[in-house]
Chains A and B, each alone.
Chain A
Amino acid sequence: MSATTPEQAGVTIEATDGSQTIRLAPNYWPFVVPALVVVGAVIVFPWAFTLWMSVNSWTLGQSRNFAGAENYLRLASDPRFWESLWHTLTYTFLSVVAPMFFGTVAALIFDAKFPLRGLLRGVFVMPMMATPVAVALVWTMMFHPQLGVLNYLLSLVGIPAQEWIFNANTVIPSLVAVETWQWTPLVMLIVLGGLASVPREPFESAEIDGANAWQQFRYLTLPMIAPFLMIAMIIRTIDALKSFDIIYAMTQGGPGTASETINIYLYNTAFSYYDIGYGSAMAVVFFIVIVALSFILLMLRQRSQWIDQEGK
């Protein structure tokens, strides 16, 4: 390809002489077409197939029948599905709130200048880059009720040993702790990007007017980084709803079904019971839940911007 470069230079010289003045509007669509084809094959086709399968009754190895809304009605009356929906929402709520809090605090710290900032920030980002399954295995060892290091650490401060992921009551909070450990850095990075765009001047005048650090944060920083907080929150919500690796590798939805989220139940339905029709219907409903929640957050974001402008 580089062999054409000299010719190219020749054309350029000719053109600057004014001998070629035809100017075509560049056509950019050919650049996008290959990606559209791949997206069509790998994303659109599966969706069309899933929608079609969701109105069929089909378990692998058996015959397929058109079933209409049967799968969806079955979902509505399936207590295990409602339970998994509840687990998903609890898990998601906690996995948004905790990383949002810690991520914002971390961003405020890393926005300032101090020794070894670059190195510490690099280490802070590592959990989100680490392979989730590998991380999950090590956390499982740390959660071990007898030999785990976490119960030992608790004993040092006089807290009785916990059963962590091995107890139905503590399994979701324990998984959320791992999720928080892994994904707080993403929130930090997004908020850090927001803080970098905050202008200095208002803070200088606030300082002169005698505003303390908390007031400056509450009335200047927070409103200015609000759009970034919303983006972080939307992304975190989507990712937490879809969380699979950590839960599957650590508990597979157990003990019993105590940590079975929709994603895990969907996996079991499709790939343990090979109930393709029912699994497809669940995938459709799951997707609707994700889109609906993201949409609500997007609306909130637009509304908050609107209120902002109203205030001015």
Chain B
Amino acid sequence: MSSRLLNQIGLFFAALVIVSPAILFFLWMISLSLKFEIDNGAYPPILIPEHLAWSNYAKVFEENNFLLYFWNSVLVTGTATLLALLIGVPAGYGIARLKAERSAVVIMIARMTPGLSYLIPLFLLFQWIGILGTLWPQIIIHLVVTVPIVVWVMIGYFETTPMELEEAANIDGASSWQVFRLVALPIAKPGIVVAFILSIIFSWNNFVFGIVLASRETRTLPVAVYNMLSYEQVSWGPLAAAALVVTLPVLVLTMFAQRQIVAGLTAGAVKGG
């Protein structure tokens, strides 16, 4: 019994060692964001400063239009995710029921394609249509990230849901749409939640589409935080604060939906971009 306890303590410390790069990184990120310039330039470095620089956060929102960019991010990610659910959930259902395994290959190829190869033609197309100043180019191109994630997760989910109920409804004369809407969809709610969360995260984090397609008014948060660098002599405190603001929504979502995320990623092993 005591050797088992010893074993558990050993495992706990092994886990602590392997998690420590993540813990230390985020601690240091918080520390940087709450220090005044003097403390950030100190040697040896200071982890917890005497005076906390909450003003760094105020500066981020005051000087950089971050509220606008935050709202842009919400609009782009939200719309791209909702559109992806709207077309991706039925598609996942259809593919799972058709047992069309080849379409899984299509999604794999979409994953292999570098984001930049979509960007050149779509950039020219958007310019030609004349919608470059709006959020639409980014919403449309984010579908490249969100649709494959949703379809992939939903195929996996619908493959595991039982067919008996659907067959019974079929025999009773329900149309395929009714079967999907009233039988398959309610059972698939947990799968939809997983698809929704993963789609939000990877769309929110996307950077490459934004640096090409965003103008001054249509920047999303990752682009905005990167653009802060281009100012001369940017100070570390506000920069770290901005970085934290950008990634905090995603980290909070990760913490709260950890179980769903782990389930979704182990099943499908998806990632956007």
Q: A280 to chain B: which residues have CB within 8 Å?
A: 117, 120
Q: Tell me if A137 and B225 are in contact (CB < 8 A).
A: yes
As a 0/1 sequence over residues 275 to 294 of chain A, the CB contacts with chain B under 8 angstroms (1 = contact) are 01001100110110011001
Of A67-75, A108-116, A217-225, which binds chain B? A108-116
Q: Which of A242-300 contact B (CB under 8 A)?
A: 242, 244-245, 248-249, 263, 266-267, 270-271, 276, 279-280, 283-284, 286-287, 290-291, 294
Chain B residues with a Cβ closer than 8 Å to the other chain, count: 106
Interface presence of A126 (CB below 8 A) = yes
Q: A16 to chain B: which residues have CB within 8 Å?
A: 172
Q: Tell me if B22 and A126 are in contact (CB < 8 A).
A: yes
CA distance A231 to B26 in the complex (A): 29
CA distance A109 to B41 in the complex (A): 38
* Cβ-closest chain B residue relative to A180: B21
Q: Tell me if B29 and A138 are in contact (CB < 8 A).
A: yes
Interface presence of A94 (CB below 8 A) = no
Q: Tell me if A287 and B172 are in contact (CB < 8 A).
A: no
A11-B174, A42-B140, A131-B204 known; A137 vs B229 contact (CB < 8 Å):
yes
Q: Tell me if A43 and B269 are in contact (CB < 8 A).
A: no
Interface presence of A157 (CB below 8 A) = no
Of A24-32, A78-86, A204-212, A302-310, which binds chain B? A24-32
Q: Tell me if A124 and B18 are in contact (CB < 8 A).
A: yes
Of B62-70, B188-196, B241-249, which binds chain A? B241-249
Interface presence of A152 (CB below 8 A) = yes
Q: What is the minimal beta-carbon distance from A264 to any residue of chain B, in angstroms?
A: 9
Q: Tell me if B140 and A181 are in contact (CB < 8 A).
A: no
A133-B225, A134-B225, A147-B41 known; A43 vs B144 contact (CB < 8 Å):
yes
A42-B140, A134-B225 known; A152 vs B114 contact (CB < 8 Å):
no
Q: B124 to chain A: which residues have CB within 8 Å?
A: 49, 276
Q: What is the minimal beta-carbon distance from A261 to any residue of chain B, in angstroms?
A: 10
Q: Tell me if A138 and B25 are in contact (CB < 8 A).
A: yes
Q: Tell me if B172 and A249 are in contact (CB < 8 A).
A: no
Contact of B258 among A49, A125, A133 (CB under 8 A): A125
Q: B88 to chain A: which residues have CB within 8 Å?
A: 35
Q: Tell me if A114 and B120 are in contact (CB < 8 A).
A: no
Q: B135 to chain A: which residues have CB within 8 Å?
A: none
* Cβ-closest chain B residue relative to A5: B182
CA distance A132 to B205 in the complex (A): 7
Interface presence of B132 (CB below 8 A) = no
Q: Tell me if A123 and B106 are in contact (CB < 8 A).
A: no
Interface presence of B54 (CB below 8 A) = no
Task: Give 23 A-B contacts (CB < 8 Å), ordered by A residue.
Answer: A28-B97, A31-B180, A32-B98, A49-B121, A49-B124, A50-B120, A114-B9, A121-B258, A125-B262, A127-B21, A127-B22, A133-B223, A135-B25, A137-B240, A141-B240, A149-B45, A181-B22, A186-B271, A192-B266, A238-B111, A239-B273, A271-B212, A276-B120
Q: Tell me if B93 and A263 are in contact (CB < 8 A).
A: no
Q: Tell me if A45 and B121 are in contact (CB < 8 A).
A: yes
Interface presence of A38 (CB below 8 A) = yes
* Cβ-closest chain A residue relative to B11: A114
CA distance A38 to B112 in the complex (A): 18
Q: Tell me if A131 and B141 are in contact (CB < 8 A).
A: no
Interface presence of A102 (CB below 8 A) = yes
Chain A residues with a Cβ closer than 8 Å to the other chain, count: 101
Contact of B141 among A42, A117, A133, A290 (CB under 8 A): A42
Contact of A42 among B14, B122, B201, B262 (CB under 8 A): B122
Q: Tell me if A239 and B208 are in contact (CB < 8 A).
A: no
Interface presence of B131 (CB below 8 A) = no
Interface presence of B104 (CB below 8 A) = no
Q: Tell me if B120 and A279 are in contact (CB < 8 A).
A: yes
Q: B170 to chain A: which residues have CB within 8 Å?
A: 23-24, 26
In the A-B complex, the 8 residue pairs with the closest CB atoms: A31-B94, A35-B91, A193-B266, A49-B121, A134-B243, A15-B172, A32-B94, A283-B117
Q: B94 to chain A: which residues have CB within 8 Å?
A: 28-32
Interface presence of A106 (CB below 8 A) = yes
Q: Tell me if A124 and B22 are in contact (CB < 8 A).
A: yes
Interface presence of A232 (CB below 8 A) = yes
Q: B12 to chain A: which residues have CB within 8 Å?
A: 114-116
Q: Tell me if A30 and B261 are in contact (CB < 8 A).
A: no
Q: A53 to chain B: which residues have CB within 8 Å?
A: 120-121
Q: Tell me if A11 and B173 are in contact (CB < 8 A).
A: yes
Q: B26 to chain A: which residues have CB within 8 Å?
A: 126
Q: Tell me if B208 and A244 are in contact (CB < 8 A).
A: yes
CA distance A53 to B111 in the complex (A): 22
Q: Tell me if B178 and A121 are in contact (CB < 8 A).
A: no
Q: Tell me if B14 and A46 are in contact (CB < 8 A).
A: no
Interface presence of A160 (CB below 8 A) = no
Q: B222 to chain A: which residues have CB within 8 Å?
A: 131-134, 245
Interface presence of B134 (CB below 8 A) = no
Q: Tell me if A135 and B247 are in contact (CB < 8 A).
A: yes
A22-B173, A50-B121, A141-B240 known; A249 vs B226 contact (CB < 8 Å):
yes
